[in-house]
Amino acid sequence: MVFRNARIAVFVDGCFWHGCPEHHAPPRTNASYWATKIRGNKSRDEDTTERLRQEGWTVLRFWSHEEPLSVATQIAKVVATTFARVSPSPKGRHNVND
């Protein structure tokens, strides 16, 4: 999810594909292939996060197992804080879909 005007990028990473430290269980079949694949995904995630941050973006990453309301609340707080800091509108409202 991207909030372009606020320069916020949100990622929800799946436990299997991104190597969640709590839930990732390596497959027994073709273990070497999957270990390499998951390491590559994690490396790409780190690179993407770093590149975006270097370009001035705020990067939020969550695991797919996290409680949706909690995640949404955290995202909303960061978006609201960023919009308030950037340019408050005359009525104090912002269109987060911009």
The answer to the question of residue 94 being in a domain is: no
The answer to the question of residue 72 being in a domain is: yes
Please report, for the domain that includes residue 27, its CATH number. Answer: 3.40.960.10
What pLDDT shows up at residue 12?
97
Per residue in 45-92, pLDDT tens? 999 999 999 999 999 999 999 999 999 999 999 999 988 876 655 554
Q: What gap in Å lies between CA 71 and CA 10, rounded to an integer?
A: 10
Phi-psi region of 7 (alpha: psi -120 to 50; beta: other; left: phi over 0): left
- Where in the sequence is the domain holding 66, given as residue range(s)? 2-86
Q: What is the pTM of this model?
A: 0.80
Residue 97 has pLDDT above 60, yes or no: no
